[in-house]
A and B are shown apart, each in its own frame.
Chain A
Amino acid sequence: MDAHGSFASAGTGKDADVIPINVGRHAATPEPEPSDLERRIASGLAFLRRRLTGEYEVDEFGFDPEFNSTLVLPIARALYEHWFRVEVHGLKNLPADGGALIVANHSGTLPLDGLMLQVGVHDNAGRDLRLLGADLIYQVPMLGHLSRKSGHTLACQADAARLLDKGELVGVFPEGFKGVGKPFHDRYKLQRFGRGGFVGTALRAQTPVIPCAIVGAEEIYPKIADLRPLARLFGFPYFPITPTFPLFGLFGLIPLPSKWVIQFGEPVPMGDYDAAAADDPITLFNLTDHVREIIQQMLYDTLLKRGPAFF
């Protein structure tokens, strides 16, 4: 919090040498009531100016809220609204404030489900979702810092605990690459939930786990085969063959326009257990299975509700 104070003072100090020019200009032109377009241009320019001068804030994870809401989310939102036509259900299960851990299924060959979940949470609940991503993301140029700037961090106990302690809404895909890269014929079958680390983190932080089913992502890039040697060559976890990729080259990267439904389930409270339960493997396994079963059931129900995949 202190950082904000010092930030503000540094900002005004810098402004000091430029303000006079603008003050002069404003005084010279009597201001008419600005139209909507003008206001949007002005706010767009103000955004550009802040980017140019570096007068914005990032948190210790590298989250840049302004960058996220002005650049990342609008692009994702276009996909969200017009391409995937995402419907969100069970919003009442998302807390308005305080820490919570959203646990969702992972699918789609490319992790667009994370991006759509982020838009869904942001636009419907007004909260920034902090996802936990694979370490591969942070080794790839561009991807790593874009991911950090949009609020995500490395999937590890320390970061998850820190975010939950700060009262953030954290999202995790415990299936990891096993889920996102599973073949099309295994669609909507939950894979193993990692080692159940997420339950331990939620228990220690005493925050609820919110199960979440994402339906629709399975059909965006149906993975019908996997070129292992190429994957090894590039260091990818898999090299997918889809009906359109690599057949149509880069055009094959356009996701199929499936219909999406995101369903949030009732929070699984962790308050019934004490923090010591986090060190009891049996409790962890049972809770992990419990959450997994809830999400699997939600997946089947939501899949039925959605109907046909593309219309």
Chain B
Amino acid sequence: MGRTISARDDSGAESGRNASGSTAHVVLVTGVSRFLGARVATALEADPRIERVIGVDTVPPGTPLGRTEFVRVDIRTPSIAKVIASADVDTVVHLNLVTAPAGPRPKMKELNVIGTMQLLAACQRSPDMRKLVVRSSAAVYGASPRDHAVFSEMDEPVEAPSSGYAKDAVEIEGYVRGLKRRRSDLKVSVLRFASFLGPGVDSPLTRYFRMPVVPTVLGFDPRLQFVHEDDGIEVLRRMIVEDHPGTYNVAGDGVLLLSQALRRAGRPSVPMPAATLSALGDAGRRLPSMSAFSPELLRWLTYGRVVDTARLVKELAWRPKYGSEAAFGEFVQAQGLSRRIPVELFDRLTGGLGNSG
């Protein structure tokens, strides 16, 4: 699978790509073996203007990639610089933000932060680099009861996230800003995604919703936003093939409350004190069979978070196809989670009276 770069390098070098406008020609996608990376690579393959799509990751992709050239390289090592230099990469799409606490925390931090540092260092050196698209997360805004209701890109949270991938995302954005200062010629787009949902997504959040009985935080009903995978990929694609430098929130329109989402899915839920839930989350990390949820997820499930996507909508002149409710609905349907027993029982008991109004 790991085709070497140098084999095809000579043929691609002479295409005079720097002369033609803004479109990306050689795109490097990090985290290509993971769901988002693979989907973005596939979307880019379909674009004839893009000469080469190079996917890098530490593990081979699970699904076959089309004309994407897979290079097995760890972005935490300097060899990523060689890949970028030898293939004359002009666009780097950094999707390798690990949000699922799969292994020990230090490893996750190293993947996220050190990986980004190495990648950005390589980008800074490369004379061909024109554009950098970074997947960040709306988690950079944290979640707290003292924050205002809707975050726009300019806002700073009252309490910056202090743990997990949210903290990593804040640091990653810091390094990206640093690179932007040093290479002002680069077009840098940073995308702060709300939680991905959809038929293909597997994340701590989807595992949370799939629990047989969904635990919620007693006395709190957070406002949630989701972005459908298709919309997320479309935003990334547009950012790659068009120039939209800046930082953007990405989320589906509308807001769902957690209680509302669970009712729509017909999921049974049980409210628990926050301390119990956090103990459960800790236990889940130790027992791989249990669903683990991290402190960041717990805070999100307590206080929720809503971002303002006006800047993205204006810049792209485009709206996400799926609102938060629709994205959630798609996810529920694809997972076959929806159980309508309570509703059917209700209709049976009331003789359908309630359904007529």
Query: Which residues of chain A have a CB within 8 Å of any CB of chain B?
Result: 2-3, 5-7, 9-10, 13-14, 17-19, 21-22, 25-26, 41-49, 51-62, 64, 135, 138-142, 144-145, 148-149, 153-154, 156-159, 162
Contacts and interface: CB of A to CB of B under 8 A. Distances in A.
B257 A18 contact: no
Given A2-B253, A58-B256, A62-B223, A135 B263 contact: no
Interface string B341-357: 01110111011111111
A49 B219 CA distance: 22
Contacts of A13: 329
Contacts of B356: 22, 26, 42, 46
A2 B220 contact: no
Contacts of B338: 14
A17 B348 CA distance: 14
A227 B155 CA distance: 38
B209 interface: no
Nearest to A156: B148
A160 to B, nearest CB: 9
Contacts of B342: 52
B255 A60 contact: yes
A308 to B, nearest CB: 40
A162 B262 CA distance: 28
Interface in B255-288: 255-257, 259-264
B125 interface: no
A62 B343 contact: no
Contacts of B259: 54
A43 B357 CA distance: 6
A147 B326 CA distance: 26
A311 to B, nearest CB: 39
Interface stretch (B26-34, B48-56, B100-108, B317-325): B317-325
Interface residues of B, number: 49
B262 to A, nearest CB: 8
B145 A25 contact: no
Contact of B347 (A6, A18, A159): A18
13 contacts: A2-B254, A2-B319, A3-B255, A6-B326, A9-B326, A14-B338, A21-B352, A46-B354, A52-B342, A54-B263, A60-B149, A148-B221, A153-B148
B351 to A, nearest CB: 6
Contacts of A9: 326
A58 B257 contact: yes
Contact of A48 (B149, B256, B340, B346): B346
A151 to B, nearest CB: 12
B150 interface: yes
Contacts of A45: 350, 353-354, 357
A7 B325 contact: yes
B129 to A, nearest CB: 36
B145 A138 contact: yes
B306 interface: yes
A26 B355 CA distance: 11
B323 A2 contact: yes
Contacts of B350: 45, 49
Contact of A141 (B148, B155, B220): B220
Interface string B271-313: 0000000000000000000000000000000001010000000
Contact of A49 (B221, B306, B355): B355
B314 interface: no
B178 to A, nearest CB: 28
B251 to A, nearest CB: 10
A135 B147 CA distance: 9
B59 interface: no
Contacts of A14: 264, 329, 338, 340
Given A45-B357, A135-B145, A158-B155, A6 B254 contact: yes
A17 B340 contact: yes
Interface in B221-241: 221-223
B323 A55 contact: no
Contact of B255 (A48, A55, A62, A142): A62
Given A7-B325, A46-B354, A58 B255 contact: yes
B155 to A, nearest CB: 7
A26 B352 contact: yes
B347 to A, nearest CB: 6
A55 B264 contact: yes
B264 A62 contact: no
B353 A42 contact: yes
Q: Which of the listed residues B221, B304, B340, B344 has the most CB atoms from chain A within 10 Å of its own CB?
A: B221
A49 B326 CA distance: 20
Contacts of B149: 60-62, 153-154, 158-159, 162
A60 B326 contact: no
Contact of B145 (A5, A52, A144): A144
Contacts of A6: 253-254, 322-323, 325-326
Given A2-B323, A10-B325, 16 more contacts: A14-B338, A18-B355, A21-B352, A25-B352, A26-B356, A43-B357, A45-B354, A46-B355, A48-B346, A58-B257, A60-B306, A61-B150, A62-B149, A141-B219, A145-B222, A149-B257
A25 B323 CA distance: 34
